[in-house]
């Protein structure tokens, strides 16, 4: 049986709630869950960047030739159209 996949932001939001609500004496579990939620969001953003880059590599190469952008992520973000998640 194949499980349905939960959207990443919904899963990360659920993890935010768990991070706040779990009773943990030292707070390590809370911190780990909160960090995992943030990493999911970062990975989702990187995945969007890679998907866009695969479809639009010519635009990104032109943008990365500019010394205005300090790293690859900022160059891709500058070249990508702003979209709502």
State how many domains the chain has: 1
Residue 17 lies in a domain: yes
* The model scores a pTM over 0.75: no
Q: Which helix (H) or strand (E) holds 56?
A: helix 28-64
Is the pLDDT at 64 greater than 80? The verdict is no
Q: What is the pLDDT of residues 72-84, one digit of tens each?
A: 677 777 777 776 5
Residue 85 lies in a domain: no
Long-range pairs for 48-54 at CB < 8 Å and ≥24 separation? 48/80, 48/85, 49/73, 49/76, 49/77, 49/80, 52/76, 52/80
Residue 48: phi and psi, rounded to 5, are -60, -40
Residue 84 lies in a domain: no
Residue 34 lies in a domain: yes
Note down the domain range covering 58: 8-79
Q: What is the pLDDT of residues 10-54, one digit of tens each?
A: 999 999 999 999 999 999 999 999 999 999 999 999 898 888 877
């Amino acid at each position: 049986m194949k499980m349905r996949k939960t959207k990443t932001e919904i899963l990360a939001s659920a993890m935010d709630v768990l991070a706040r609500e779990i009773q943990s004496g030292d707070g390590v579990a809370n911190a780990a869950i909160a960090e995992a939620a943030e990493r999911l969001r970062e990975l989702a953003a990187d995945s969007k960047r890679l998907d866009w880059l695969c479809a639009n590599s010519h635009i990104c190469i032109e943008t990365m030739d500019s010394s205005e952008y300090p790293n690859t992520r900022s160059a891709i973000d500058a070249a990508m159209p702003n979209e709502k998640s």
